[in-house]
Structures are given as structure tokens and as C-alpha cells.
Amino acid sequence: MEFKFSEKVSHLQASAIREILKYSADPEVISFAAGSPAPEALPAKELEELSKEILAEEPSIAFQYGVTEGYTPLREEVKKILAAQGVFNAEYDDVIITSGAQQANELSAKVLCNEGDTMLVEAPSFIGSLNAFKSYHVDLQGVTLEDDGINIAELEEKLKKGGVKLVYLIPNFQNPTGRTMSWEKRKQAFELCKKYGAVILEDNPYGDLRFAGEDIKSIKTLDTEGSVIYSGTFSKILSPGIRVGYVCAHRDIIQKIVVCKQVADVHTTMWSQMLCYRFLKKYDLAEHLKKLRKVYEHKTGLMISEIEKNFSSKITFTRPQGGLFIWCTLPEGVTTEQMVDFCTTAVKDYKIAIVPGTAFEIHDGDPTRSFRLNFSTPTDENIVKGMAILGRLSKEKFGE
């Protein structure tokens, strides 16, 4: 039978990352393609103990239906944390629990955008969000991402044209580039979006993973009337497999997101939400984050020194102060095809998985000569081994 799929999904393809992750199923492949937190940084033992307590003490809450908005004690804890950061404004904001930040971002686009509405995103940006937005058939437009955040002049130019509904930003240790938006640019972007009536969707999955430099406040802290939606997650600090994120926004927006979440999955897994709540109550989050940051600081440092030691000197790369990713760019003149060929050769001939920049471009065919490296998942040994192999390959292809 021939199926006619809806226009909004007929052009969506399975994510290139997921495809490359399938190569990684080969146990011999060393993967720098994932976006998973470091296994040694997940508090598995603590979560195991908390799980025992939950199922012994409150099985009927864990196993029965919950309300769509989320487990109330967890919502209250998240509100407290966000309020302390100036993100949650009790006057008009509300917070609900979502099935990962992915759901928060997807539903934000669903409630605000009609098909054909314009959304601006950093170019490049996170493929999962790009596909989520595309699945609602919005007119997605990229704004060039520079070392300190998007190009503000370009942002204004695009906002001026009118019709921009939503501006999606990952200000901290962006995926895929690892770049962080400066405070100056955050203020400028906020003022411009306010001026032109666009809502900002601020996605902050990595903000807790800063291991160098000074924290920069969220764009949401500038909000005075609810024009910023803020999403966060427990995926990178506790566990991604439990699928718990949250969204903080004006309560009128939250109310619509709740209706859409209700029809999406009714509610997020109760046990997962209870785990997060009990972790926050029983353990010192700040202490836990300190430990995490040490792991990440070590891994990034190791990867950067191995890149410096091994890679062709013509390859440039970012030096993130947090997060999970380093963004490498092949020499000027290298075509998209040559970059993809480099990545493909790496995984097929040398069993090293990296993600070609094409995966993060706004539209198929946008040119790019970059690729993404993840430093959180591989072991130290594999970082050394992998960077040596990639280094040899890069020198072969692009010279010393």
C-alpha cells in the first residue's frame, strides 16, 4: 500500500545522529557522536536507593495516573531553584514537568506557531529541536551563530521583516558548537524580540555543566511580562533515560502547553518525577554539580590537548566552558561533500563516529565544513586513541 503522509512530516528524515548512533552499535566503534552525559557522572547508586524508597513507600503514586502538570512536590522544588536564579517570576510564570526538555521545546512551537509562521534559530542548532519545529511546518530561518552568540544585526534584520513568532536560542554551551552567548548579546536579543513582538524560547540543558569562566544569567531573568519561555532538564545532571524536563513560562502559555501535553502523553512517568524530587530533597545539588563539573572539565581538557597534539593545524575548533561538545571546522575551501566524506571515512574505515555538521544545518543543502565531537561519553583511553586516529586522517586529507 502507498501511504500519503501529511506534508508536515513527509520531508522529515530520521536524525543523522541517530543513524550514526546505529553504527555505534558495533562494539568496536569509538563514538564521539552521542549527546549522553558521562556514565561515571550519573548518580546511579543514589537513584537506585531512592527508587527502592519510592516503590516501598509510595507505590500507588508511582504506578497510578498522575496529573498532566507533573508531580506537585517536584514542580515546587523546580520553582524554588528557578526562582533563586531569577528565572521563575511568581507573579505571572508557572512551571510544569515535561518528558525531557525535548517535549518542552516541541510543545512551545506547537502552541505558538501556525504552519508557515516564521521561527528564527541559531545556525547551526540542535537537530532535535530543528526537526520538532519542522514537524509543525514553520518557516525556519537561521541567524548566523558567532563565538559570542548570534549575529545581532542579522537578528534585527530578520525580526524587522515581521511575522517572527518564536526565536529559539541555546545560550549556554550550545549544541552543536559549545559556544556561549555573551550577556551583552542576551540583553540585545531580548530587547529586540520584545520590540518586534517575538517570544524567545530559551533552551538551557547544559547551563549546570559550566566548568570554566563565570556564570552568565539566563535571558529569562530579563523578562518582565512573560515574553520568554525557559526549558530545562534533569537529563544531563541526573539521568537522560528517565526523561524528565521542565518548562517555565507565562501561565497563559503554560496552560496551552498543558493541554497539548495531555494529548501527547497524558503525563510524564511518575517514578521518574519522584526520583528527581527525592534526589533534590536528599542530596546537595550544588555538591553533586561540583563533582560533575570536575569530570567534564577533565574530559574537555584531555580532548582539547589531544586535538592540539594530533589534528592538522588547519582545523579550527571551539574551546567550550561547559556542556558536552566541541565544534571542529575543516580548512577554508573544503566543501560540504568533502566534510561528509571525512566523517564517513572515519566511521567506516577507522571505526570513529563523529557527527557531520550537515546534521545541524537549518535546511538540507546548507553548506558546512564542520563536525561535532562529544567528550562526555568516551573513556579517557578512547579520547586519546580516537583523537590520534582522527588526527592522522585529518593530516592525510588536509596536510600537517
Residues 230 to 289 in contact with a copy of itself, rule: CB under 8 A: 239-243, 250, 252-253, 255-256, 258-260, 262-272
The pairs formed by 304-311 with CB atoms below 8 angstroms and a separation of 24 or more are: 306/383, 306/384, 306/387, 306/388, 306/391, 307/387, 307/391, 309/387, 309/391, 310/387, 310/388, 310/390, 310/391, 310/392, 310/394, 311/387, 311/390, 311/391, 311/394, 311/395
**Which three cell numbers mark 81?**
531553584
Could you say whether residue 205 binds a copy of itself (CB under 8 A)? no
- Side chain identity at residue 294, one-letter code: K
Please, what is the minimum distance in Å from the beta carbon of residue 4 to a copy of itself?
A: 8
Q: In what order do the strands lie in the sheet with 245-250?
A: 93-98, 245-250, 228-233, 199-203, 164-169, 118-123, 139-146, 149-150
Scanning 62-70, 152-160, 172-180, 297-305 for contacts with a copy of itself by CB under 8 A, the matching segment is 62-70
DSSP string, 40-65: GGS-HHHHHHHHHHHHHH-HHHHHS-
Nearer to a copy of itself, 242 or 330 (CB): 242
Sites for a copy of itself among residues 340-399 (CB under 8 A): none
Q: Judging by DSSP bridges, how do beta strands 245-250 and 199-203 pair with one another?
A: unpaired
CB-nearer residue toward a copy of itself: 192 or 242: 242
Q: Does 212 bind a copy of itself (CB under 8 A)?
A: no
Q: How far is the CB of 377 from a copy of itself (least distance, A)?
A: 9
Taking CB under 8 A as the criterion, which residues in 86-105 touch a copy of itself?
99-100, 102-103
Which residue number, 273 or 321, has a Cβ lying nearer to a copy of itself?
273
Is position 84 an interface residue for a copy of itself (rule: CB under 8 A)?
no
Contact window for a copy of itself (CB under 8 A) among 220-228, 286-294, 320-328, 353-361: 220-228
Q: 201 - beta bridge partners?
A: 168, 229
Based on the shown chain and the rule CB under 8 A, indicate whether residue 220 belongs to the binding site for a copy of itself.
no
DSSP 364: T
Using the contact rule CB under 8 A, the part of the chain among 52-60, 286-294, 332-340, 355-363 near a copy of itself is: 52-60
Nearest CB to a copy of itself, comparing residues 212 and 266: 266
Give the cell for residue 149.
552568540
Give the 3-state secondary structure of residue 145: strand
# chain residues binding a copy of itself, by CB under 8 A:
83
| Binding flag, residue 295, a copy of itself (CB under 8 A) | no
14 binds a copy of itself (CB under 8 A): yes
Min CB(11)–a copy of itself separation in Å? 10
State whether residue 143 is helix, strand or coil. Answer: strand
Q: What's the min distance (Å) between Cβ of 8 and a copy of itself?
A: 7
Nearest residue (CB) to a copy of itself, 138 versus 143: 138
Q: How far is CA 304 from CA 321, 384, 388, in A?
A: 12, 10, 12
